[in-house]
Amino acid sequence: MAKAEALRGELKVQGSKNAVLPMMAAALLTCEDVVLHNCPDISDVSKMITVLKALGGKVKREKDTVIIRVDRINDIAVNESFAGDFRASILFLGALIGRTGHVRISYPGGCKIGKRPIDIHLSALEALGVKICDDDNMVSAKGHITGTEVVLRYPSVGATENIILASVCADNIVRIIGAARDPEVSSLCELLNSMGADIEGIGGHVLTIRGVRRLHGTEFQVPGDRIVAGTYALAAIATGGSIRITGLKGCDLAGQYTALSQTGAKMLFKGNTWYIESIQKPMAVRYLKTGPFPEFPTDLQSPILAAMLKAKGNCFIKETVYPDRFNIVKELKKMGADISVDKNTVLVNGVESINPGNLVATELRGAAGLVIAGLEAEGESFISGIQYLKRGYEDICRDLNCLGARVSIMDKR
């Protein structure tokens, strides 16, 4: 990839990865068609399709529409060859409990960004009456939801989604206290309500789910991806550009909007469009702490770190969600960045220029951060490990090039 001039222009953002994955698991809860529009073409979606088919579902993809029909369940096991590869596989735990009251599932894999246990998922389902047994690296869960209230010790996104999936067809009312408030949890609830579920308190810390007898099919628009949008906004800020990103909901940007405006960029959100007009050299965001929504998203920590490399001043970032998520620092230092890490904090001192480099990506959002760093460098940079990008970015080259960058994927020779 080559250094970009300031990014300019307009881009429609892809559908959200973290919204569509639980929606695809939710399709297991009905025998009828679930039609998802604006579905991103990313590898995590393909993996979800593979598992749905293995469980007995029929899945069709027509451009950005995915149609899922699971009129029969053939299997209740999600083994390691499927689950070991991606974190969202854990959502089949709640969905299969909801549909059949029985599941055997391997521990989920996913990006290497620190420890990612599933204890909150398991203890919550257990508290709600599901029998959990852990053997041979597989979790076996049996029974339907009978409990009425669960308190989460941390607002885990995946655990909240699993409880919802397991509870929407329960015989009783379930209250989740301390639920994650992320927009992706809200869109899952909206999808389920459009299928006949009865979920109240959407967007809040307390969700009330009144179990219904059955769910029907639906047609639903996957919302725009707030993390992809934030990545491109940061690429514009890092290069002193001016862009518009369409296809978003303003409220989804909580946490990132204020932080990004501290770079001196002028920002406006109108209709479904985010306008970002940055200044030539961004000001450093002095202090940033990642946290559960509506705090600054951990998934934008690497991209903002990269966007701060040439900023005016010092930027201090504290990572509270995945304390070890600083894999890209070593790569950024190769480029002449002035960064120091201390436990779960990082301090970036803005420098005058960044050198191009041969960089190695080891996970999705870190890879996106390296792309931003490459855009800031004085010359061509090469990044390996770009398969990680495909997990969440439909086509980062297409998107950045449409904003004036020069980024391409080279054939492996």
Q: 358 in helix, strand or coil?
A: strand
Q: How far is the CB of 174 from ligand EPU (least distance, A)?
A: 18
Q: How far apart are CA 324 and CA 317, in angstroms?
A: 13
Smaller CB separation from ligand EPU, 156 or 278: 156
Q: Nearest approach, Cβ of 74 to ligand EPU (angstroms)?
A: 25
Helix, strand, coil shares of the chain as percentages rounded to 5?
35, 25, 40
Shortest reach from residue 353's CB to ligand EPU, in Å: 29
Distance separating alpha carbons of residues 310 and 307, to the nearest angstrom:
7
Q: How far is CA 138 from the centre of its chain?
A: 25
Distance, CA of 124 to CA of 311 (rounded, Å): 44
Nearer to ligand EPU, 96 or 321 (CB): 321
For ligand EPU, give the closer residue by CB, 16 or 218: 16
- List contacts with ligand EPU (CB under 6 A): 17-18, 21, 87-88, 111, 115-121, 154, 156-159, 180, 184, 298-299, 321-322, 364-365, 392
End-to-end CA distance of the chain: 17
Q: Return the number of the residue (4 or 235) whose C-beta is nearest ligand EPU.
A: 235
Catalytic residues: 111
Pick the closer one to ligand EPU by CB: 90 or 265: 90
Minimum distance from CB of 124 to ligand EPU (Å)? 8
The single residue listed with the structure tokens 């398969």 is 387
Nearer to ligand EPU, 104 or 365 (CB): 365
**What does the CA dihedral 278, 284, 290, 296 come to, rounded to 10 degrees?**
-20
CB of 139 vs ligand EPU, minimal distance in Å? 12
Residue 297, preceding bond cis, omega within 30 degrees? no
> Tokens in use for 298?
């951990």
Minimum gap (Å) between residue 21 Cβ and ligand EPU:
5
Residues 6+ apart with CB under 8 A from 179: 152, 155, 160, 163, 185, 201, 204, 205, 206, 207
The C-alpha atoms of residue 218 and residue 191 are separated, in whole angstroms, by 8
